[in-house]
């Protein structure tokens, strides 16, 4: 169960801040148009410039951002610039990658590039490639770390290289896409029968969202189009032909700290919860929370390892 959140009785998300600037979108998971609003929050990078709404699909239960600005409708806005949380997230992702069955096996990564990520996997014997639509999107450090890259659309890649990959890793990418079922199908084509998908997504079941709600760093509205917890991600993968091998959560100290400060700024200076505001921004409290999250499996990141269902 998700802890109490701000439940809206009427739609209060901005229908428009100028003519034709917002669009209603279907559920990225199942395509249904039936949804009910569940929370509203400021854009993380825009402070209070815009208020966005998150709705819950009445068909599959997935939470997704709706409506969205018109510059987000055609596809996810990729954010490839270095982020403070990139290295810890990719370290958690790499920890769930099994050793290659043979040295030089292919691993294709979707999401932000990090030098430590490619170096760690190359030492284990993986041949690591980064997926990008255009060569200019690959950072120079990736080439210096002897990483490889694949360019073009995902459809073209699946058409020309079916059954080539041993592992696909994904972080900070899947939840930003407008059509998830097609992506899962194409990944299924790319992987060998015994291949594995290692997927990292922000976790709505984590302590960060339970504690800070709409101020949680993991929402990152409007860029994250879909918001998962285990009870919605697992059925989505199963319906797309994937078998869950294992799942694990990882805490993020940085996300807890940033969420706490955003929550504290949202409180008035005369709020009677001054003690809670003080504890919420305490580094020691966050460290204790991370230790607790490791024991209870309520980290901010959910990492799932899955295989095509036809694999033995």
pLDDT at 14: 42
Instruction: Supply the Cα-derived Rg of the chain in whole angstroms.
Output: 20
pLDDT at 204: 96
pLDDT at 54: 97
pLDDT at 3: 37
pLDDT at 297: 60
Comparing 14-28, 162-176, 279-293, 297-311, the range with the smallest average pLDDT is: 279-293
Whether the pLDDT of residue 119 is over 70: the answer is: yes
pLDDT tens, position by position, 175-200: 999 999 999 999 999 999 999 999 99
pLDDT tens, position by position, 220-277: 998 899 999 999 999 999 999 999 999 999 988 888 888 888 887 777 554 546 545 5
pLDDT at 7: 40
Residues 136-154 have a mean pLDDT of: 94
pLDDT tens, position by position, 165-174: 999 999 999 9
pLDDT at 44: 79
pLDDT at 167: 98
Pairing state between β 148-151 and 127-132: parallel
User: Taking a C-beta distance cutoff of 8 angstroms, is the pair 297, 189 a contact?
Assistant: no
Residues 53-69 have a mean pLDDT of: 95
Q: Rounded to the nearest 5 degrees, what angle is found at the Cα of 211, between the Cα atoms of 252 and 306?
A: 50
Residue 85's pLDDT band (cuts 50, 70, 90): confident
Whether the pLDDT of residue 287 is over 70: the answer is: no
Residue 13's pLDDT band (cuts 50, 70, 90): very low
Closest CA to 144 of 113, 102, 103, 108: 113
Whether the pLDDT of residue 292 is over 70: the answer is: no
pLDDT at 11: 40
Residues 127-156 have a mean pLDDT of: 94
Whether the pLDDT of residue 102 is over 90: the answer is: yes
pLDDT at 275: 47
Residues 39-53 have a mean pLDDT of: 79
pLDDT at 77: 52
pLDDT at 273: 61
Percentage with pLDDT > 70 across the chain: 77
pLDDT at 258: 87
Instruction: Please tell me the distance from the alpha carbon of residue 15 to that of residue 75, in angstroms, as a whole number.
Output: 20
Q: How far is CA 124 from CA 18, 24, 263, 309, in A?
A: 52, 45, 41, 26
Record: fold of 86-252+295-308: Rossmann fold (3.40.50)
Q: How far is CA 160 from CA 22, 49, 126, 148, 182, in A?
A: 37, 44, 21, 18, 17
Whether the pLDDT of residue 215 is over 60: the answer is: yes
Mean pLDDT score of the chain, rounded to an integer?
Answer: 84
Work out the burial of residue 304: count CB atoms within 10 Å of its CB; fewer than 13 is exposed, 13-18 middle, 19 or more buried: buried
Instruction: Specify the 3-state DSSP secondary structure of 249.
Output: strand
Q: How far is CA 72 from CA 51, 66, 118, 178, 312, in A?
A: 15, 11, 30, 9, 39
pTM of the predicted protein model: 0.85
């Amino acid at each position: 169960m998700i802890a109490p959140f701000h439940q809206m009785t009427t739609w209060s998300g901005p229908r428009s801040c100028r003519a034709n600037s917002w669009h209603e979108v279907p559920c990225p998971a199942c395509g249904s148009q039936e949804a009910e609003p569940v929370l509203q929050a400021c854009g993380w990078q825009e402070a209070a410039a815009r208020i966005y709404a998150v709705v819950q699909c009445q068909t599959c239960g997935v939470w997704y951002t709706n409506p969205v600005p018109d510059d987000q409708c055609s596809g996810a806005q990729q954010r490839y610039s270095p982020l403070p949380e990139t290295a810890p997230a990719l370290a958690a992702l790499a920890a769930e990658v099994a050793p290659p069955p043979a040295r030089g096996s292919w691993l294709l990564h979707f999401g932000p590039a990090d030098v430590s990520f490619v170096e760690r996997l190359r030492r284990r014997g993986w041949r690591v490639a980064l997926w990008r639509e255009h060569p200019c999107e690959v950072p120079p450090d990736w080439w210096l770390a002897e990483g490889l890259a694949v360019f073009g659309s995902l459809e073209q890649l699946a058409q020309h290289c079916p059954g080539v990959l041993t592992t696909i890793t994904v972080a900070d990418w899947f939840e930003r896409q407008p059509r998830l079922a097609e992506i899962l199908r194409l990944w299924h084509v790319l992987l060998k029968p015994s291949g594995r998908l290692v997927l990292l997504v922000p976790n709505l079941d984590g302590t960060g969202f339970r504690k800070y709600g709409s101020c949680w760093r993991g929402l990152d509205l409007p860029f994250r189009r879909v918001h998962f917890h285990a009870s919605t991600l697992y059925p989505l993968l199963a319906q797309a032909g994937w078998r869950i091998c294992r799942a694990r959560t990882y805490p993020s100290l940085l996300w807890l700290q940033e969420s706490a400060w955003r929550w504290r700024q949202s409180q008035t200076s005369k709020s009677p919860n001054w003690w809670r505001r003080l504890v919420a921004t305490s580094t020691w409290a966050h460290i204790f929370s991370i230790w607790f999250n490791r024991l209870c499996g309520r980290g901010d990141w959910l990492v799932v390892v899955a295989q095509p269902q036809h694999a033995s």
